[in-house]
Amino acid sequence: MARVMVAMSGGVDSSVAALLLLQQGHEVAGVTLKLHDGREAGEKSTRTCCSLDDIDDAKRVAGTLGIAHYVFNYEDAFVEQVIDPFVRTYCLGQTPNPCILCNRFIKFDKLLVQARALGFDYVATGHYAGIRQDEDGRRILTKPKDLAKDQTYFLYAMTQEQLGGTLFPLHALIKGEARRLAAAHGLITARKRDSQDICFIPDGDHGRFIDAMTDGAGGDFVDAEGNRLGTHRGIWHYTIGQRRGLGLGGLTEPLYVVDIRHEENQVVLGPPSALFSEALQADHLNWIRPLTQGQSMRVNAKIRAAHTPAPARVTLLPDETAEVVFDEAVRAVSPGQAVVFYDGDDVAGGGTITDRTKIQHGRTQAL
């Protein structure tokens, strides 16, 4: 049996992950990461993770299970690797995903390194995902049994070394089963609500959070031809596809955010038809199933967490970026978000969206 350090967020899923590993005979210890105090936005939330209250809940669960519990202070690393890039990306007119950054640089990098330095064989989390080995011995990230809770989109950046040092005990469980197990073993997290908001923004208002961290100013709403339509509050308040919260009255038809021009400090509005893209470009790629330059692969591409993956062809270009051409145009491709490539239930890889493009005369062109 192995020595396993379980990242315990104070929620039901990581609590049950620790329980299952104990039942399998592993030597288990729990750790909660102190990333922030959970009250930066001036409100307490029950829908975030990693707050001081969550640390207390994780400690109580560890006590019930009879395992050691530690707290690692990663606040400085979290600011550098997650919060600062989050703010910078929004200020560039793009839409970041902080959970992906946290997984890439904190949970499966910094924590895994520290766990191994302390003599642990694996790090485990309560993510709904699976890991298997293919016929060549490569570790493959794969979807869990509970597809409604599938979190592989947030984990696509894991390397072979990280996949080899990680356990996902909930891969074969349905969420309801996890709650029933927690209740049956007297864990206080059994009925705790799932975290949904950005953990360091308890009130969910990312625009107000960035307002307090930047000297940026508002600018113009414009149409595709550059005609002024009104004044926006700062480009970080908006994302591609947004309709609500624009603060514009007297419109004769619904308008959506269809582009953000950060250099001009402009938010471009247009009709819903302007939201559709036939292709996209991506960089900062991670390949779980390797692709060589010039090679293409048929995939189902997922462009945001709530998106149903769409059939596409991905090609690795000579500059180590990827071109993704969809079978049918997709709505609201947002630079800054991740695009993740699926081959059936397996994650083939993914990257960060840089541009959305159209097909003209057989070639992709930026919109």
Binning the chain into helix, strand and coil, the percentages to the nearest 5 are 30, 30, 40
pLDDT of residue 3 exceeding 70, the answer is yes
Using one digit for the tens of pLDDT, what is the confidence trace for 162-200? Answer: 999 999 999 999 999 999 999 999 999 999 988 767 889
Q: Is the pTM of this model over 0.85?
A: yes
What average pLDDT does this structure show over 200-220? Answer: 89
Residue owning tokens 């080995």 = 133
Q: Any idea which fold 216-270 has?
A: SH3 type barrels. (2.30.30)
Alpha carbon distance 165, 123 (integer Å): 6
Q: Is 216-270's fold the same as 275-366's? A: no
Token output for 322? 């990827």
Return the higher-pLDDT residue of 51 and 154: 154
CA nearest to 302, candidates 335, 268, 342, 345? 342
Using one digit for the tens of pLDDT, what is the confidence trace for 319-329? Answer: 999 999 999 99
**Which CATH class, in words, describes the domain spanning 3-184?**
alpha beta
Share of the chain above pLDDT 70, in %: 93
Helix or strand or coil: residue 309? coil
Answer CATH for 275-366 from 2.70.98.10, 2.40.10.220, 1.10.150.120, 2.40.30.10: 2.40.30.10
Using one digit for the tens of pLDDT, what is the confidence trace for 266-275? Answer: 999 999 999 9
Name the residue ranges covered by the structural domains of the chain. 3-184, 216-270, 275-366
Angular region, 304: left φ>0, alpha ψ -120 to 50, beta rest:
beta
Using one digit for the tens of pLDDT, what is the confidence trace for 10-40? Answer: 999 999 999 999 999 999 999 999 998 654 4
Contact call for residues 18 and 30 (beta carbons, < 8 A):
yes
Residue owning tokens 């997984």 = 103
| Active site members | 102, 199
Using one digit for the tens of pLDDT, what is the confidence trace for 57-93? Answer: 999 999 999 999 999 999 999 999 999 999 999 999 9
Using one digit for the tens of pLDDT, what is the confidence trace for 352-367? Answer: 999 997 654 455 556 6
